[in-house]
Amino acid sequence: MFAVFDLTDNEPFLHTRKAFFITEKIMNERLFIFDTTLRDGEQVPGCQLNTVEKIQVAKALENLGVDVIEAGFPVSSPGDFNSVVEISKAVTWPTVCALTRAVEKDIYAAAEALKYAKHKRIHTGIGTSDSHIRYKFNSTREEIIERAVAAVKYARRYVDDVEFYAEDAGRTENEYLARVVEAVIKAGATVVNIPDTTGYCLPQEYGDKIKYLMEHVDGIDRAIISTHCHNDLGMATANTMSGVLNGARQVEVTVNGIGERAGNTALEEIAMIIKCHNDIDIDCNINTQKIYPTSRLVSSLMNMPVQPNKAIVGRNAFAHSSGIHQDGVLKNVQTYEIINPHDVGIDDNSIVLTARSGRAALKSRLSALGINTTFEKLDKIYEAFLKLADKKKDINDDDIMILAGVDRTLNHRIKLEYLQVTSGVGIRPVASIGLNISGEKFEAAASGNGPVDAAINALKRIIERHMTIKEFTIQAISKGSNDVGKVHMQVEYNGHVYYGFGANTDIIAASVEAYIDCINKFKEERYEHSF
């Protein structure tokens, strides 16, 4: 094993073949993070971004600590070409990478698109499995090697840093794959990508493939071996880690694991595996506290909601609903959490009250609401709580206060009196809103880029506080024309994140109700109530 560094400009990643190798291990080895959210991730139907949005994501990836940003496929469209150009101008220290086929016009287009990049890489390649060779290219193994070598040599005319991908390497015979890898390294490839394009490989199988290359390719020490795994069988992360443990030192990943079909290896999962398993002796440059904000940004811009149970960044990743788990977490958080939510940029874990919750969780929630109770009174509240929880999925703070005998209206200083929204094609949406704030009535109107935005803007004209929407999720409760929309919202205020909920057949009204629900939870005063 060896560590890889580049001291040409004091930056913590490999730019070119100028890198040198330290055979005597003096520190943990470096794992390079290659993010392809803007290329492979954007290939998901309905997730296309414009150039401005891509720059937003690229800057977020730079702040996250990503080493290489695959900005796009320049030859595919004028828009993609322009995006690579602008991203090259916008970021400073990450390498900007452009994808090509093993075709000269592709490579030339990539070189032109990368001309403003401070650190540039061309990513070229060709299919190497027998299926690709026979059916996709109608070619032979020897001709594929010739084309691969020619593509790498042509790319080296323009940049010093060339990555070669052996498409469908997961289903390519190891002996032939080793021949391809050896040939492209001799031709000048600085990184060689071993994609499991179809997500077919088992973790052991993929790890053995990387190990075979490390042991049988002459000159393997002159290039970095990279993983690129897909999630068709749910093994992308496992395969990627298996590759890393067998010698790969670059991983190709996407934020939230987005990508074609079932997606790619999730960046956040690899970063946190490396962070949690100190015994692996591998480091990456990711600032893990930026993971959650980056995840929210990508989800919002690409209109790709993160599944609630998604590892690391899902809404339920740090939520506990089982009574046994809640009791354990309240006593010692490490009982059921191997990751500190603060380490990924999340304020705290959450105790979700359900029919499976125990007395410890209920008592904790009562205390958070400023309600002190005796042991006997807690038993009575808990009995009533279980009956309600069996009938109702969402147990909120209002419910708890009613069970405890506290006037819930104390928590509802702000109430929605009326809401009127005008929107349509060719006109700018306008909303009028009326609020009752502690018995006093207020009205305001505002426009926005959509009906929900207009309604929220009108509300903000009355509630003059600096609030930021962190999460906005819409869920259908039923089906049909009488469908009820359920809105979950997270709002950041004064350094704290508050959760709100709204339900209405009118999704705009549900959104406003959820926003108001958040505001009503702002803790400027505590309830003092003893039993």
Please state the three-class secondary structure of 201-247 as a single string. CCHHHHHHHHHHHHHHCCCHHHCEEEEEEECCCCCHHHHHHHHHHCC
Distance CA 202, CA 297 (A): 32
Fold of 36-301: TIM Barrel (3.20.20)
What's the CA gap between 485 and 501, in Å, rounded? 11
User: Could you report the per-residue pLDDT of 488-509, keeping only the tens digit for each?
Assistant: 888 888 877 787 888 788 889 9
Q: Is the Cβ–Cβ distance between 25 and 52 less than 8 Å?
A: no
- Asked if residues 220 and 226 have their Cβ atoms less than 8 Å apart, the reply is no
- Cβ-contact 112, 100 below 8 angstroms: no
Q: Is it the case that residue 158 has pLDDT exceeding 70?
A: yes
Kindly list the domain boundaries of the chain, sorted by start residue.
36-301, 319-406, 412-520
Question: Is the pLDDT assigned to residue 531 strictly greater than 50?
Answer: no
Provide the pLDDT for residue 32: 98
Joined together, the tokens standing for residue 512 give 């406003």
Average pLDDT over residues 7-12: 38
Q: What does pLDDT average to over the chain?
A: 86
Q: What's the pTM?
A: 0.75
CATH code: domain 412-520 is: 3.30.160.270
- Transcribe 43-73 into DSSP letters: GSTT----HHHHHHHHHHHHHHT-SEEEEE-
Give the span between the Cα atoms of 118 and 257, in whole angstroms.
27
pLDDT for 380 equals 86
411 has a pLDDT exceeding 60: no
pLDDT for 205 equals 98
State how far the Cα of 379 lies from the Cα of 385, in Å rounded to an integer.
10
pLDDT tens, residue by residue, 289-331: 999 999 999 998 998 989 989 999 988 787 776 666 766 766 7
Pairwise CA distance, residues 29 & 24, whole Å: 11
pLDDT > 70? residue 46: yes
With a cut of 70, say whether residue 368 has pLDDT above it.
yes
The predicted structure's pLDDT at residue 482: 54
Return the minimum-mean-pLDDT range out of 104-113, 196-205, 331-340. 331-340
SS3 letters across 477-488:
CCCCCCCCEEEE
Residue 161 has pLDDT above 60, yes or no: yes
> Residue 487 and residue 501: Cα distance in Å, rounded?
6
Identify residue 214 by its one-letter amino acid code. Answer: M
DSSP string over 77-89: -HHHHHHHHHHHH
- Name which of 32-46, 106-120, 167-181, 367-381 the model is least confident about: 367-381
Distance between CA atoms of residues 511 and 519, nearest Å: 13
Quick one: pLDDT at residue 82? 97
> Average pLDDT of 71-76?
96
Instruction: Report the pLDDT value the prediction gives residue 506, as an integer from 0 to 100.
Output: 87
CATH number, domain 319-406: 1.10.238
Report how far residue 60's alpha carbon sits from residue 295's, in angstroms, rounded to the nearest whole number: 10
Give the least confident one: 127-131, 165-169, 239-243, 308-312.
Answer: 308-312
Q: How many CB atoms lie within 10 A of CB 427?
A: 9
pLDDT band at 353 (very low <50, low <70, confident <90, very high): confident
At residue 15, does pLDDT exceed 50?
no
Q: Among the listed ranges 158-162, 376-380, 521-525, which one has the minimum average pLDDT value? A: 521-525
Residue 224: the pLDDT is: 98
pLDDT digits (tens, 9 = 90+) for 173-202: 999 999 999 999 999 999 999 999 999 999
